[in-house]
Amino acid sequence: MSLPSMRLRTKVILLAVLPLVGSLALLAVAVRQQERHLVEREHALVQRAYMDARRAELQNYVALAVSTVQPLYERGASDAAERAQALKLLASLDYGPDGYFFVYDLDGTVLMHSRQPELLGRNLWEQRDAKGRPTIQQLIAQARQGGGFVDYEWRKPSSGQPAPKLGYVIALERWHWMVGTGLYLDGIQATMAQLDREASANIATTMLWIAGIAVFGVGLISATGLLLNFSEQRVAETKLRLLARQVVQSQEDERAHLARELHDGVSQTLVSTKLLMEAAAESASKAAPEPMAGTLAKALGRLNASLGEVRRISHRLRPALLDNLGLPAALQHLGHEFDEAGGAQVGVRIEGPEALLRELPEVVKTVLFRVAQESLTNMAKHSRAAQVDLALCFDEEKNELRMSVTDNGCGFDTQAVYQNPSLGIGLRNMRERLDAIGGRLHICSAPGHGTQAQAIVPLAALKKLGASA
């Protein structure tokens, strides 16, 4: 898999993720703004409904109070006894912990206040609230205008603290009175605060849902990208393995062709030359002087050596035994060659079903033979081993074909070899050959403890290669 294709896939994933994230971000902003507008409208509706209900309630309370003293007011008399009786009746009318009536004369003097009796007789005309508004003056002015509502601040009896209040007052002109009551508005503030908290909680929940959807979407796109990447990687690996097998097969075909050419062409020519020189040497020994016979003998010896070398090269390129008698015979012959070469005693063991080992797929036979050849060559060059064991067997429990080359030589540091790019080329070639057929290579070695190279090919890979052959 090439880097440009990976970059392209990354760009494609980003082109899918960024619009999704951007759309969800815009959606989150829009939802947040919409919910804010809804909260503001809800605030206005709730406040309007609350205030309308309170205004109607205050009007009803004042109407009730006026109806209570109406008989006394309509008698036409204006003596102090009737007024005192009216004040007493109004003082007895209260509702709830903070609901009461108050009576002022139109000059601002307190005539009756059931919750603050200490104010009786005091003139509060100049009293102002925390905002600097003349409270009593506003109430009396509204009463003189025929009655109405006034917003102001007043001490709340239940808490003893100033609180916003809505009052409703009317004037009893003949008695020179202002009669009124009021409701504290801190309840609506608490209601609005509760609505704000609920709205904030709803907005937070909505944002969490949007964030969750964003995370899920990004995760889904990423997982899809990884799945596609994995699928393409598997396809690419399959193609690479097929290509590697084709390359190996091409190499083997070329080697087989060279081996046949050497055997059928050069080797036959050398054999013919050898026969002619043998005949010439035999004739020279009878008719020619001794020096010529010796020269011919030397030439014949060198020709025999050349012929042997050609045969060895032909066999190393592509042993005929591998094609004719199968892998076990080729491995036994290979071990015999290295054993005759000296330096180490090579033993070959073949275990397992003979038919299975002999009728292996062509590419498997070639790969295992080359791995054995490379392992024995490395042993001869580097291990200084005295004993080498070459074994080919089929493990029925694990359903895999296993070939191992084990020596008692000097061993080596496998990590150092793998990390150094200039070393271990033969090991990498062996590993790549096995990877191409679905096998694997295990190298077990340590300085002073010998080396074991183990090539493993699962039965599933054998069947697959046999079906595709």
Of 43-47, 55-59, 198-202, 418-422, the least confident = 418-422
- Angular region, 268: left φ>0, alpha ψ -120 to 50, beta rest: alpha
The model's confidence at residue 137, banded by pLDDT at 50, 70 and 90, is very high
8 Å CB contact between 281 and 301:
no
Q: CATH 3.30.565.10: which residues of the chain?
A: 321-468
What is the distance between the alpha carbons of residues 138 and 143, in angstroms, rounded to a whole number? 9
Mean pLDDT of 260-267: 56
Give the sign of the dihedral formed by CA 355, CA 360, CA 365, CA 368: negative
pTM: 0.43
**How confident is the model over 147-175, as pLDDT tens digits?**
999 999 998 888 888 889 999 999 998 89
Q: CATH 3.30.450.20: which residues of the chain?
A: 8-184
Long-range contacts made by residues 303-311, C-beta under 8 angstroms, separation at least 24? 303/270, 303/273, 303/274, 303/277, 304/274, 306/270, 307/267, 307/270, 307/271, 307/274, 310/262, 310/266, 310/267, 310/270, 311/262, 311/263, 311/267
Strands (E), 291-399: 345-351, 387-395
**373 or 273: whose pLDDT is higher?**
373
Mean pLDDT of 10-26: 71
Asked whether residue 5 carries a pLDDT value surpassing 50, the answer given is no
The model's confidence at residue 7, banded by pLDDT at 50, 70 and 90, is low
**116 or 302: whose pLDDT is higher?**
116
| Residue 152, pLDDT score | 92
Residue 455 backbone phi and psi in degrees, to 5:
-105, 130
The model's confidence at residue 468, banded by pLDDT at 50, 70 and 90, is low
Residue count of the chain, please give it.
469
Compute the C-alpha angle 420/418/337, nearest 5°: 105
Asked whether residue 318 carries a pLDDT value surpassing 70, the answer given is no
The model's confidence at residue 264, banded by pLDDT at 50, 70 and 90, is low
Q: CA 56 from chain center: how many Å?
A: 62
What is the distance between the alpha carbons of residues 133 and 165, in angstroms, rounded to a whole number? 13
| Residue 3, pLDDT score | 44
Mean pLDDT of 20-46: 77
Q: What's the N-to-C CA distance of the chain in angstroms?
A: 26
Write down the CATH number for the domain with range 321-468: 3.30.565.10
The model's confidence at residue 25, banded by pLDDT at 50, 70 and 90, is confident
Who contacts 69 (Cβ-Cβ below 8 Å, separation ≥6)?
86, 89, 90
**How confident is the model over 219-231, as pLDDT tens digits?**
777 777 677 666 7
8 Å CB contact between 321 and 364:
no
Average confidence score pLDDT of the chain: 80
Strands 400-407 and 451-458: antiparallel
| Residue 278, pLDDT score | 67
Supply the DSSP string of 87-137, one letter for each residue: HHHHHH-EETTTEEEEEEETTSBEEEESS-GGGTT-B-TT-B-TT--BHHH
CATH 3.40.50.300 is right for the domain spanning 8-184: no
What is the distance between the alpha carbons of residues 113 and 139, in angstroms, rounded to a whole number? 15
Asked whether residue 283 carries a pLDDT value surpassing 80, the answer given is no
**Percent of the chain scoring above 70 in pLDDT:** 75
Residue 111 backbone phi and psi in degrees, to 5:
-100, -30
**356 or 446: whose pLDDT is higher?**
446
Instruction: Give the residue from 469, 443, 464, 468 showing the smallest Cα distance to 455.
Output: 443
Helix (H) or strand (E) run with residue 168 in it: strand 162-172
